[in-house]
Each structure stands twice: as C-alpha cells, then as structure tokens.
Amino acid sequence: MKKRFLLKTTAALLATCAFGLAQAQNTPIKFQLDWRFEGPAALFLTPVAKGYFKDAKLDVTVDAGNGSGGAVTRVASGSYDIGFADLAALMEFHANNPEAPNKPVAIMMVYNNTPASVMALKKSGIKTPADLAGKKLGAPVFDAGRRAFPIFQKANNIGNVAWTAMDPPLRETMLVRGDVDAITGFTFTSLLNIEARGVKADEVVVMQYPDFGVKMYGNAIIASPKIIKENPAAVKAFLAAFTKGAKDVINNPAAVIADVKARDGIINVELETRRLQLAIDTVINSASAREEGFGQIKGPRLSLMASQVSDAFNTKTRVKSDEIWNGSFLPSAKELDILPKPKK
C-alpha cells in the first residue's frame, strides 16, 4: 500500500514537473496595443483566445494603450517586446531620437492605409477640403490625423486653419456641440463616436486622407531590436500566429467581438462590431492592401511617406525608410493570402 502510494506520488510529481517544463518552454511576449479594447483589438485578442499564440509556443499578454506614440516609446524602453503603432509615429521617434539605443522597427503592415480623416457636420457647410480654410479644427495634440494634417493640407491646397486641443473623450462632443468646425481622427473611431452622440452617419462629412492624395501607411506591428536579435524565431512565430487570427477576424468580425468583450465587459457589442467592420473595409482589406499584399509594403511608397513625415512633423533628422522596416519575419506569400475579394 505504502509502495503504491509512493509510486502515485512520484508519478504526480513527474507529471507536474513535465507540465511546468512545457509551460516554461513558451516564450513570454509582452504586447502593447495602440488604443483601448475596441473592435480592432480583436486582431490581437482573437489569436490569444483561440490559442494560436500558445500553439506557436508563445505566452502573449496584450495590454490596452493610449496612443501610438506611447506604444512606440514603451517598446523602445524595453517595457514591451512587440507593439502596434501608427507608422508615422514610429518614423517620428526614429528621426527625433537618432541616438536612441533601442529604436523599434516595423515588421508587418496591418493598416495598409492611414485611418485618419477630417470629419465635419454637413450643417457646417463644409463639403470639400478647400472649405476647411479659416475654420477651427479640433483634435488631441498627439492625434495621428492632426500630426499628418500638413500633408493633407498641402495635397489639397488648403489655407490656414486654427487648432483647438482637447482630451480624446471630448473630441466628438465638441464637434457636435459646435465648439469646433471639424475634427481629425481615425474614421472608424470618430465616426461611430459622433453617431453615439446622436448624429446620424449621413449628417457627417468624412474626408478620408487616402481619398484626398495622402497615401500614407497606417498601423504596423513593431518590435524591439532586442527581441529581434535574441529570439528571431519567436518574432516569426508571433507573426504567423497573428496572421492566422487575422484571417478569422476578417472573415467573421461579428463572432470575434466576444474576444474583445472578454477583456472589457462594458463594450457595446453592436457598436464595436461595426467599428471592426469599418476598419476592415477601409484600411485592412482596402484596394491598395490587396494590391501590395497583406502585411507587406512597397519601397517607393514607404520612401515617399518618410519624406512627407520628415517635412510635416519637422523632425530633428530626416526619416530613413530603410531603418524603419524589416520584412524578413513575414509569413510566406501563401500564408499572407488572407484578404477576401470585395463583394460586387
């Protein structure tokens, strides 16, 4: 009896050790989102929920963010291994911190187009970019659309505008209240926030930057040079698992919102499903994304953006596009072929 008990105990201990060893083999990855747990966050929360990262021997934790600038600096500081950030914010960090020892690099394009747009209420009389001249525009100082507005302004020969700064939660409220004539923001964020304040979508003028001559890239997955150097296999595995999850998200956005709600129980499921679908339609499965291929970039377009950001952001040094991008960890072309053709 005693011998049998000892054998059982030994077997249990061995099983526990084996389990612990298996767990230890999973590489921990700290991931920083650009924003809160809203619809588009499903791109990263779904591969966690479905175990795709775990299957790739990765233990990925996803944290909400408060803007692309913060995501870039947190990856640069070493607090996070990988993150999600607007490519212009990454370029600005590189050009303003040329001596920084740990400058993150973009390793996969997710938003092939910038989601930035100018939005105004139709009753304001603003119909075209030219109508913005002399008007009062509002946005947080770190807003990607506001930072890139000089590029939009130059492309459309817009006269001077006046800016009003505010915290993000007040942006759409101030537009609806009439405190500002127009705002800049991500289309899938601000348009739905305007609707949530009682304005119908057909009462809003939306001028998306890509539709008005601004061919900038949007958000990319970024990684620290440290993890790239020390564990390139983990970086490659992360992108493969992410791509698998992204395919699920693109094919069934309504289903994956449950993964977002699991992280933030107070989200409006209907609203966030619409937000995710809008992000897919405008910046993920866009015509240019299908042309260039999911996750990938075109060198000449990247170089043009680097030049535009250098000028518009008035950076300390010029942005060097070849130091921003590293596409060597991307999955195969077959694995990246996840964008469905548009419905006719």
- Residue-averaged pLDDT of the chain: 93
What are the tens digits of pLDDT across the range 262-284? 999 999 999 999 999 999 999 99
Please report the pLDDT score of residue 342 as a whole number.
79
**Same structural domain for residues 188 and 238?**
no
3-state secondary structure of 231: coil
Helices and strands (H, E) in the chain, number of each type: 16, 10
Number of structural domains the chain divides into: 2
Percentage above 70 pLDDT, the chain = 93
Claim: this prediction has a pTM higher than 0.85: yes
List C-alpha distances in Å: 21 to 26, 53, 186, 252.
9, 18, 44, 36
What average pLDDT does the segment 117-124 reach?
Answer: 97
Contacting residues for 288 by C-beta, under 8 A, at least 6 apart? 112, 113, 210, 215
**Same structural domain for residues 156 and 274?**
no
**Same structural domain for residues 155 and 86?**
no
Residue that is written with structure tokens 């952001």 in the block: 313
What are the tens digits of pLDDT across the range 315-336? 999 999 999 999 999 999 999 9
**Same structural domain for residues 148 and 134?**
yes
Relative to beta strand 58-63, strand 204-208 is unpaired
> What domain range is 283 assigned to?
27-113+217-336
What are the tens digits of pLDDT across the range 181-212? 999 999 999 999 999 999 999 999 999 999 99
**Same structural domain for residues 87 and 227?**
yes
**Same structural domain for residues 109 and 223?**
yes
**Same structural domain for residues 285 and 263?**
yes
